Structure 1
């Protein structure tokens, strides 16, 4: 580094141009009279005494009388420590600027675009650990392994987890997918997809973490704290990443009690039972749409309503028939309630969990 560059750096570190120039001169000359330092630098003779005293106050030099005012540099250890501290602060500030640019605080942004996939994965991990009710996750085996501890914590908290695992091959190999015991610890259901897929984590009907699949030319991520946007991603997950792919693990019961976190899946499976005149006892956990207060109802399902109409013969209605408004009518001791699913506004109750109970023992 030449003298001019060194002077510029010292100015960046807080010295004035005269102070930086005088200090470099003292370093080069050694112990010297003030007049010689002024001559070796750009500091005018009348100013050199004030400049040297200021440098002494800041710990860069010491002055002494030897017929006239002289100056010599202090041991550079204190100066070097100060410069290193300043350098560390600049480095920390640079990292903070980058972090804030890549990952703005979510409390101030409902939708954030980030550069790094790791930012998306880190946020997904936090959200999964804090989940209350359900997680829908599309991931490759490596991403799954990273999130497995968080998924296990969520399962321990009785969170319903649908896991769509994607690989780049057409065959399910023993070494490409987690084993059954691992899946039992980390999800409620798992399916295998053999097409490149984006990473998606949908948490509690509110949060979305998204990034394109690894073969995409675009590298970015999206973090969404919004029920409406997450509802759109939910339909993408349901139709493209879930419904058409083969199950590889399921702990879903086939006999009551059976719990659903999706009202559409519930209606698909109970419609034939209703058509056959079966009594279907049920427990609804959710929120009153008028007050947003948590509520739990117990009764029986007496009717279903959905925009696609009912198929002849009591068959399960296809998902396309359930794409619009769907409702359950529940008869309880307090009267009948109309129950909707995700985002319900016109119904009295938004269901979070629907549990089919065992029929009365006298049936």
Structure 2
């Protein structure tokens, strides 16, 4: 079935000629601005905005603002169900739409704003499955079950997955079982008040949507390390640091691997103060070139901006909020190693493995 016949069939299904033409055009483009859709179709420029809003009201597409009005084809399940209830010709049209439609990738922009939570969840699902190092995610139990297969894939691939669960607005939480958590994460904690959905993937991607009680439903999807770093501190302070651990795959047996340098420092600083020798392997990249590196050596020193006033041996997170690094002596020299967002250190660590403590 060619585009003209598909357009005609959609007109038979109840769309206006302009609506059918715009929808078929958008299927081909994936996502595009209103101006680009008008230029690629027969819809006049003055009519394109009304046509797109009518298609959105009918559930065929979703629109979003990104400098100007943009649109993408919505999940076609409802459209397909309607078409398949009609004659054989509509069945052919539904198969053609299913073949042409695939959830479009985000456009080549740092920030995209979408109108529906399910778009955010779908993008998070895709990014989590492709993760290589770490996932930090805060979500309701029902959202956890929606994304559990993606989280399990990441966990099986050796990704460090931290999950903060919180209740849905107005609902009693039904927490996942230990078996469900062990399949899908490295560690899980529970916060007893509703919170926004948040997923941070590999220190680059941020997927965010307000909690269910918010007045407006929208989502933000950002591919930017600086933005993700800011949300990382929200995750650490609001969704992680003070909340109860309900599952952990970690133990005290060596080797112990960290994806967070600051958590590593909290455990290593007391050992250094006791005069212990701590041997480690650092995976990361050079801060000036971005080249990946793997270093083996002995942690000889640590640096952090704060001064602890606590009697506890573990350094409080608040004291690690500024500059934080460790010094690693290797056979090739001595290097400084920073964490997420390192700029003045020789290397940014993505993983630190404590191999031995003497």
TM-score tier, shorter chain, comes to 0.7 to 0.9
- Given that 2:285 and 2:292 are in contact with CA atoms closer than 8 Å, whether structure 1 keeps it comes out as yes
- Given that 1:311 and 1:317 are in contact with CA atoms closer than 8 Å, whether structure 2 keeps it comes out as no
- SS at the partner of 2:252? coil
State the match for 1:84 in structure 2.
Answer: 9
Q: How has the CA–CA distance of structure 1 residues 117 and 171 changed in structure 2, closer, same or farther, with 3 Å as cutoff?
A: closer
Q: Within the alignment, does 1:142 sit opposite 2:142 as a pair?
A: yes
Q: How has the CA–CA distance of structure 1 residues 148 and 135 changed in structure 2, closer, same or farther, with 3 Å as cutoff?
A: same
Offset, 1:268: 1.1
Cα deviation code 1:37-79 (max 9, x no counterpart): xxxxxxxxxxxxxxxxxxxxxxxxxxxxxxxxxxxxxxxxxxx
* Alignment root-mean-square deviation, CA: 2.6
Mapped partners of 1:87, 1:192: distance in 2: 52
How many residue pairs get aligned? The number is 280
- Given that 1:169 and 1:194 are in contact with CA atoms closer than 8 Å, whether structure 2 keeps it comes out as no
Offset, 1:256: 1.7
Cα deviation code 1:6-54 (max 9, x no counterpart): xxxxxxxx9xxxxxxxxxxxxxxxxxxxxxxxxxxxxxxxxxxxxxxxx
- Given that 1:148 and 1:186 are in contact with CA atoms closer than 8 Å, whether structure 2 keeps it comes out as yes
Offset, 1:182: 1.1
Cα deviation code 1:246-295 (max 9, x no counterpart): 00000112232111111111111111111111111111000011221110
Q: 1:254 aligns with which of 243, 252, 255?
A: 252
- SS at the partner of 1:247? strand
Q: How has the CA–CA distance of structure 1 residues 168 and 335 changed in structure 2, closer, same or farther, with 3 Å as cutoff?
A: same
Q: 1:303 aligns with which of 291, 301, 304?
A: 301
Mapped partners of 1:303, 1:275: distance in 2: 9
Gaps of 5+ in 1: 1-13, 15-79
Q: How is 1:89-238 mapped onto 2 (pairs within 5 angstroms)?
A: 89-90=20-21, 91-93=23-25, 98-99=61-62, 101=70, 106-167=106-167, 176-238=174-236
- SS at the partner of 1:235? helix
State the match for 1:245 in structure 2.
Answer: 243
Offset, 1:82: 8.0
Cα deviation code 1:67-102 (max 9, x no counterpart): xxxxxxxxxxxxx99843666743434776634635
Mapped partners of 1:87, 1:171: distance in 2: 43
Structure with bigger gyration radius: 1
- SS at the partner of 1:287? strand
State the match for 2:77 in structure 1.
Answer: none
State the match for 1:342 in structure 2.
Answer: 340
Q: How has the CA–CA distance of structure 1 residues 277 and 120 changed in structure 2, closer, same or farther, with 3 Å as cutoff?
A: same
State the match for 1:47 in structure 2.
Answer: none
Structure 1: which 4+ aligned runs deviate by more than 2 Å? Answer: 80-107, 168-173, 309-314
- Given that 2:169 and 2:212 are in contact with CA atoms closer than 8 Å, whether structure 1 keeps it comes out as no
- SS at the partner of 1:358? strand
Mapped partners of 1:287, 1:208: distance in 2: 21
State the match for 2:281 in structure 1.
Answer: 283
State the match for 2:49 in structure 1.
Answer: none
Mapped partners of 1:312, 1:162: distance in 2: 27
Offset, 1:106: 3.0
Q: How has the CA–CA distance of structure 1 residues 166 and 334 changed in structure 2, closer, same or farther, with 3 Å as cutoff?
A: same
- SS at the partner of 1:338? strand
